[in-house]
Amino acid sequence: MKCEYEPDFQREVIYVNKVYNECAIVDCPTYRIPIPPSYPLAVNVVSCTITDVVAEAVIITAGEMDVVVNFVINVEYDSNGMTQFIQQTAQYRRRGVSLEGALPGMSAVVLPLIRCLNCRPVDGGTIIECDVGIYLVLKAIALVQLEVLARFAPEPPECEQVSPIGCAEWFELAESGAFWPPFPPQPTRTHR
């Protein structure tokens, strides 16, 4: 079976990050946030959010990686009619996660989704416990060279229309398509 391609496709060599393998971690740990002595005790938790998520992974040996995710838990709680806010830095760590095909020298990528699911006051309101949903996609990637049949995508539309007050030549060049495909200009090639 012969594949039919549009005539303006040509062979191109590209450098891309290839995903060699990936896996997901799903967890729901509980974090304990102590109420400072100068704060009133917690009666009820109003809301909880996660901010400042920073995720890192390192391939430590063939087929194994370590993962660390740092984040901030932001809690709004009620203390007998008075709203209080408290923050706590937190960390989720997994060592020796098995990922077949991962090799030292490859890059490790983490795509984190972290959500505060439920919080409640405990120990007489001196501590707030929060269940945090953890969903991490881990990838082992490496830069590779591929040959593909390709062409540049069409030029995107302008974000906003600008009236050419000055530099009319610049606007004419842009409207003519002179800047597409993007820099650097591509050499004219004969088909192989």
pLDDT along the chain (192 residues), means of 10: 65 89 92 93 94 96 96 94 93 95 94 92 94 93 91 72 65 68 55 50
pTM to 2 decimals? 0.73
Given a contact cutoff of 8 angstroms between Cβ atoms, the answer to whether 67 and 56 are in contact is yes
Enumerate the domain spans of the chain.
Answer: 14-146
The answer to whether residues 2 and 143 touch, using CB atoms and an 8 Å cutoff, is: no
Which pLDDT value is given to residue 9?
82
Q: How far apart are CA 34 and CA 36, in angstroms?
A: 6
Q: Tokens 């974090």: give the residue.
A: 31
Residues 128/22, Cβ–Cβ less than 8 Å: no
For the chain, first and last CA: distance in Å? 20
CA distance 160 to 156: 12
Residue 75: closest CA among 40, 54, 45: 45
Phi, psi of 19 (to 5 degrees): -85, 115
Q: What does the DSSP assignment read for 128-188? A: EEEEEEEEEEEEEEEEEEEEEEE-PPPPPPPSS----SS-HHHHHHHHHTTT-SPSSPPPP
Report the 10 Å Cβ neighbour count for 160: 5
Q: Which two tokens stand for residue 115?
A: 């959500």
Phi, psi torsion values for 180, nearest 5 degrees: -120, 135
In terms of Cβ atoms closer than 10 Å to its own Cβ (0-12, 13-18, 19+), residue 106 is buried
Cβ(14)–Cβ(20) below 8 Å: no
Write out the two tokens for 34.
């102590």
**Of 53, 65, 119, 126, which Cα lies nearest the Cα of 94?**
65
